[in-house]
Chains A and B, each alone.
Chain A
Amino acid sequence: MVKNEVYIGSGNYPLPFVDEDGKVELLRSEQTYVRLPVMFEGNPEEIQARATGEMWRHLPTRGRLNSFLDDLRRRSNNIDADQEINHAFMLRRRAKLTLGNPGSGKTFKAKTLGKMACPKGAIYVNCKDRDLKTLIVKTILDTSNIDVEKNAIDARIKMYNKGDKSALSADGINLLKTMFGDAFSIDEAGKISLDWTAARGNTEYTSSDHDKEFVSLLQQFCKKEGVDYSHSVNNVGFVEKDGELVEALESGRPIILDEINRGKNQDFLLPYLDFLNGGYEDITIEAANGRVIHLNKADIPDTFMLEATGNPETAEMGIKERMSEPLKDRFDIEQVDDYHPKDFTDMFCMHATGVPIAIIKDAFHIEKDEDLVAVCKFLRTVGLSKQEVASIPADQMLFIENAPQFLQAAECVGKALYELYQQKKVCGNDSKMCEDSTLRRHIKEEPFSFRIVEDIYNRARAYIPKETAHTNSNPFLNYQFARPSGSNTLEMRMENQGEGLEKAIEAVAREIFTCPEAKPELCEPVLGAANQILSRNGIGSEEMYEARSYTQARLKDMFKFRLPGQKQAHRANPEALRIQEVICDMIKERYPSESVKKPDEIMDAMAIESFLADIRENPADEHNMLGKAILLNTSEDANAQTPFIETAVVETFGVFDQVDTKDLAEANSFLTAMTIDGLAENNLKTIWPKMFGVYQEMCETPEDSQADEVLSGKNPNVAYNSFIMKTKEEQPIAIDIVSIPSSGETLIVGEGIAPVTAVRLKQRGITYVDRTEEGATRKIGDWLDERDVDGYVGSAVDAKFNTLSSGVSVEKLLSISLEQRTTKNMAQVTTYSITELTEQTKPQEKSIDNMFQIWNNIKKQRG
């Protein structure tokens, strides 16, 4: 037996625990370490790395961490570290019983402790319906004399499983069932498995001579199925073998007795527990085949530990034989604590990545994203062989590469599950919440456990969307992507897992909160509350999400990961990503030097998302919205060359005697902003009073109430105005806008605009006419005629154009280029350079709002 030690909880090998405030911290001093006996071989560094790695890769959730720490200390060899705990070790108290609901992490913790002590892990025994006497001596089928027959039967089963149903008859299958009992299984797909070694004296045997009966059944089977058998079948039989407890005590491997209170003959263990935990100093064990083992307490290997687990002792939990009080008394008993609010997040991280990212971030107090990725990568691979590292599934490594983003999504899932768990507790007890007693009973009794996390994640991974065609989320570009071949590629899973995850959580929530017998109408309040929880956390149907939680990023968008070689990480919501894409296209068109950058470097999609959320929350607060836009653009993270202001909002209008092209804003940028939902409406609302203000100030014609109404945007039928911007080639141009308030239909007349902008406007439903093109006049005339607004627009154009207007049709007037117009009363859309903006906004932040009162300022200047 190999005897080595590792140090856990020291400076180089910290151990996480939860402090009194519920925060995860690290034990890492020379006073806190645990000297853990282990069965690993190799040099001390390798052993240390292996045990540490196994711990982090299978770390219990934070709700179970302190109990895990206690368990480690129970195994500790160091006398100084903790007198109280060490007392247990000195007394060789080696048996512990953990009681808790199924799936609450009891077995997981015991397996982790086993893996830290022994390369093969703990010996696992499922005690359900098992006679616990067999822990000392068990009978197994000895097949050494019937290799030929065994192989022939296995071959028949293989043929049968491959689809050749003539390989086995129904009678033959029934004979196998009788011969093998629980060691025979047939699954949902109709496939048969025989676990020859697990075949042990079937209780269905009618006689006490199991050997004889088995041989007789085997002969019957062979005759029935036409399998040749030799005389040696008479020698087949059950043989005695040492049980798992003997094996563990002798080898030093820890042993897990799972669901001990579902076992038979539990009190058989009493003397063994007296030896392991009580006053017996030695014990004599009658092992298999008459072998007698005499053990002293000092002979128990340091690495041996008996970890028993049990379910609450109710009939629903399948407990037929309650544990006797004397047996319980001999164990050190721990009751599993309730879930910690972040337990489900931790479990989700563990399942998906193999490391507890949330605990790592909190325990190591990691601030920087790259540090989190580096620590997670290190702990995922520390102590593993090259082959084992190469065998880590690709998606786990991908999630670890994107650990900060993954953690965000995992927190979203974890929070939703914890809230569902709390809700379930309320529902089970609250008769108002759930009037149907059948439903209430179902809700109350079905345990909510970590198994749900495994279930959800397995469902999500297997999810394949029904729609086969994939379209890019950018409606302006509308690229078509071909579906990747096969249904199993990493690329496809990364694309769809988020959606699958949402659907899986929804389905599981439905299953938890309703039972098939319950009436649907009575389920509604319970399910409604569950759906609200989900939507608050960005999960659920589109309707629910839109109505209740537009500020919460959707899980399916957060759960999209960048594959190696992919350019963009999709994590903001689709709307923000759409805007980001349009803005980035614009910026790249205008500033070719920016085209090498990634979209998030030019304009962070999450910032746009928060900006949009702000607009939605405060729709009337125009200044706030614009202020946000400014801040977005001038924040330290943003690129100083990013003209977001131009593209998103027109922030300033000037009136000058002459047109100075240098100061003009670019029409392409402005018109692109018109194609973005939300911004288009806000832009129109913003620019209209400014255009009218300039007209009112400078116009020398007598007041015309109808024209003024149209120009100011107050006419209920139509609004018209025009202003000056410039083309990409630095040519000043006039832009005319006609808008129908009731329908939102818009006509824009301009010139020299990039074809792509015209296409974008068309896709957005805005009619754009280039006045220099052939047939432009006719197109404008038709548009106005169709909507019967040419009269109103005519009067407004007359007033605006002043002397040029006599006898010329409105469509012809709109086709007149800037040189032939009176530019005095036309607003010139100007833009500041970003540097100027920064200078203006940074020293006095309160004045941000005032920047948009430019017209008021001009008026003030004029006295």
Chain B
Amino acid sequence: MQQNRNVMNKLSAELFLKKILSGNYETIGFCRVFKVDNVADIAEVSRAPSVAVSADLEDFKRNLENDVPNVLISQNLLNQTLLRKLAEETSAEKNILWVND
């Protein structure tokens, strides 16, 4: 039962991710920055296995170099200036979910 619930949670999270990835984004270097404003989306999408949630900036930098294709970070931790700098410098091709929580 618990296992089924976990599977459902992951599926639902991936669906929310799909919705976000069909939204608008900005290309910076090899990265694509999706600005996410909907709080409900953020809660759902954070559970997706293909999303690496960044607790702080160091975490974010590490996530940029791992295998997970989507990296989530709060706009309150990473401002526009630093986001642009880090996205331009990395060779990783990531979807950066830049959330307004």
Contact = CB atoms under 8 A, between A and B. Distances in A.
Contacts of B49: 387
B61 A390 contact: no
A677 B8 CA distance: 57
A395 B74 CA distance: 24
A120 B91 contact: yes
Interface string A387-406: 11011111100000000000
Contacts of A193: 57, 77-79, 81-82
A493 interface: yes
Interface stretch (A154-162, A732-740, A807-815): A154-162
Given A193-B57, A197-B58, A390-B14, A158 B22 contact: no
Contacts of A241: none
Nearest to B34: A393
Contact of B79 (A124, A185, A196, A387): A185
A162 B74 CA distance: 10
A186 B21 contact: no
Interface stretch (A453-461, A615-623, A683-691, A743-751): A453-461
Nearest to B33: A458
B82 A458 contact: no
A458 B26 contact: yes
A186 B80 CA distance: 8
A160 to B, nearest CB: 8
A128 to B, nearest CB: 11
A187 B80 contact: yes
Given A390-B14, A393-B32, A458-B26, A191 B69 contact: no
Given A58-B30, A195-B57, A394-B21, A186 B81 contact: yes
Interface in B21-69: 21-27, 29-30, 32, 49-50, 56-58, 61, 65, 67-69
Interface in A773-804: none
Interface string A480-493: 00000000111001
Contacts of B80: 187-189, 191
A143 to B, nearest CB: 9
Contacts of B77: 154, 158, 161, 193
Interface residues of B, number: 40
B79 A393 contact: no
A147 to B, nearest CB: 11
Nearest to A462: B24
A390 B68 CA distance: 11
Contacts of B24: 461-462, 488, 493
Q: Is the interface of B mostly helix, strand, loop or mixed?
A: loop
Q: Which of B22, B68, B85 has the most CB of A within 10 A?
A: B22
Contacts of A461: 24-26
A504 to B, nearest CB: 13
A392 B32 CA distance: 10
Contact of B22 (A121, A387, A394, A462): A394
Nearest to B25: A393
Contact of A124 (B25, B27, B57, B90): B90
Interface in A456-479: 457-458, 461-462
A602 B92 CA distance: 47
A566 interface: no
A192 interface: yes
Contacts of B70: 391
A196 B77 CA distance: 12
Contacts of A387: 49-50, 68-69
A200 interface: no
B62 to A, nearest CB: 11
Contacts of A490: 22-23
A188 B77 CA distance: 15
B28 to A, nearest CB: 8
A314 interface: no
A191 B57 CA distance: 14
Contact of B61 (A191, A197, A395): A197
Q: How large is the interface on A (under 10, 10 to 19, 20 to 34, 35 or more residues)?
A: 35 or more
A391 B75 CA distance: 21
Given A111-B91, A126-B89, A195-B82, A161 B61 contact: no
B27 A457 contact: yes
A154 B22 CA distance: 32
B82 A393 contact: no
A391 B69 contact: yes
A853 to B, nearest CB: 58
A186 B82 CA distance: 9
B90 to A, nearest CB: 7
A201 interface: no
A593 interface: no
Nearest to B78: A193
Contact of A120 (B17, B76, B92): B92
Given A387-B50, A388-B69, A390-B50, A187 B91 contact: no
A122 B89 CA distance: 10
A187 B81 contact: yes
A760 B23 CA distance: 39
A114 interface: yes
A158 B23 CA distance: 26
B81 A185 contact: yes
Given A57-B93, A197-B61, A161 B75 contact: yes
Contacts of A390: 14, 17-18, 50
Contacts of B50: 387, 390-391
A192 B57 CA distance: 12
Interface string B4-27: 000000000010011001111111
A190 to B, nearest CB: 9
B69 A454 contact: no
Interface in A361-394: 385, 387-388, 390-394
Contacts of B69: 385, 387-388, 391
A115 interface: yes
B86 to A, nearest CB: 8
Q: Which of B18, B49, B89, B92 has the most CB of A within 10 A?
A: B89
Given A111-B91, A124-B90, A457-B27, A161 B76 contact: yes
A454 B22 contact: no
Contacts of A130: none
Closest 10 CB pairs of A and B: A121-B91, A394-B22, A187-B80, A161-B76, A191-B79, A391-B69, A387-B50, A187-B79, A193-B79, A185-B81
16 contacts: A121-B92, A124-B89, A124-B90, A185-B82, A186-B81, A187-B80, A193-B82, A197-B58, A385-B69, A387-B50, A387-B68, A391-B69, A393-B95, A394-B18, A461-B25, A462-B26
